[in-house]
Amino acid sequence: MKYIIKNICCIGAGYVGGPTMAVIASHCPNIQINVIDINQERINAWNDDNLKNLPIFEPGLDALIKKCRDINLHFSCEIEKHIANADMIFISVNTPTKAKGLGAGQAIDLKWIDATARQISKYARGKTIVVEKSTLPVKTARTIKEILGSKNSDRENYQDKYSEFVVLSNPEFLSEGTAINNLQNPDRVLIGGEDLKAINSLAEIYSNWIEKEKIITTNLWSSELSKLTANAFLAQRISSINSISALCEATGADINEVSLAIGSDRRIGKEFLKSGPGFGGSCFKKDILNLIYLCNHYGLREVSDYWQKVLDLNEWQTQRISKIVVEKLFGTISGKKIAILGFAFKANTNDTRESPAINICKELLDEGGMISIYDPKVNVNQIKSELGAEKYDFSNNLDGSWRFAETIIDASHNADAIIIVTEWDEFNNIDWNTISKIMRHPAWLFDTRSFKNSYEASDYGINVWMLGNGLKEKIER
Q: CA 425: distance to chain centroid?
A: 19
17: partner contacted, choices ligand UGA, ligand NAD, none (Cβ within 5-8 A by kind): ligand NAD
Closest CA to 427 of 456, 401, 404, 402: 456
Alpha carbons 15 and 92: distance in angstroms, whole number: 9
Alpha carbons 424 and 196: distance in angstroms, whole number: 44
Site string for ligand NAD, 87-116 (x = CB under 6 A): -----xxxx----------------x--xx
68: partner contacted, choices ligand NAD, ligand UGA, none (Cβ within 5-8 A by kind): none
Closest CA to 271 of 187, 352, 198: 187
**Shortest distance in whole angstroms from residue 388 CB to ligand NAD:** 21
Query: Which 166-185 positions form the footprint of ligand NAD (CB under 6 A)?
Result: 172, 174, 176
Q: Does 38 bind ligand NAD (CB under 6 A)?
A: yes
Question: Among residues 3, 17, 22, 294, which is the contact residue for ligand NAD, using CB under 6 A?
Answer: 17
Catalytic residue list contains 28: no
Which CB sits closer to ligand UGA, 343 or 432? 343
Closest CA to 422 of 447, 390, 396: 447
Query: Which 255-294 positions form the footprint of ligand NAD (CB under 6 A)?
Result: 282-283
Torsion sign (Cα): 419, 420, 426, 431: positive
**Shortest distance in whole angstroms from residue 19 CB to ligand NAD:** 9
Alpha carbons 51 and 37: distance in angstroms, whole number: 19
**Shortest distance in whole angstroms from residue 16 CB to ligand NAD:** 4
Which CB sits closer to ligand NAD, 77 or 246? 77
374: partner contacted, choices ligand NAD, ligand UGA, none (Cβ within 5-8 A by kind): none
- Selecting among 10, 28, 68, 283, the annotated active-site residue is 283
Torsion sign (Cα): 41, 43, 49, 51: positive
Which CB sits closer to ligand UGA, 247 or 398? 247
Say what the alpha-carbon torsion angle 72, 167, 17, 48 is, to the nearest 10 degrees. Answer: 40
Q: Does 175 bind ligand UGA (CB under 6 A)?
A: yes
Please answer whether residues 447 and 420 qualify as being in contact, where contact means their C-beta atoms are separated by less than 8 angstroms.
Answer: yes
**Shortest distance in whole angstroms from residue 352 CB to ligand UGA:** 11
Between CA 215 and CA 220, with CA 216 as vertex, the angle to 5 degrees is 130
Alpha carbons 353 and 350: distance in angstroms, whole number: 9
Site string for ligand UGA, 329-358 (x = CB under 6 A): ----------------xx------------
Amino acid at 439: M
Alpha carbons 333 and 270: distance in angstroms, whole number: 38
Alpha carbons 418 and 325: distance in angstroms, whole number: 10
How many CB atoms are located within 10 Å of the residue 327 CB? Answer: 10
Q: Does 276 bind ligand UGA (CB under 6 A)?
A: yes
Footprint on this chain of ligand UGA (rule: CB under 6 A) = 135, 172-176, 231, 234, 238, 272-274, 276, 279-281, 283-284, 345-346
The catalytic site residues sit at 283
Footprint on this chain of ligand NAD (rule: CB under 6 A) = 11-17, 36-39, 42, 92-95, 112, 115-116, 119, 134-135, 172, 174, 176, 282-283
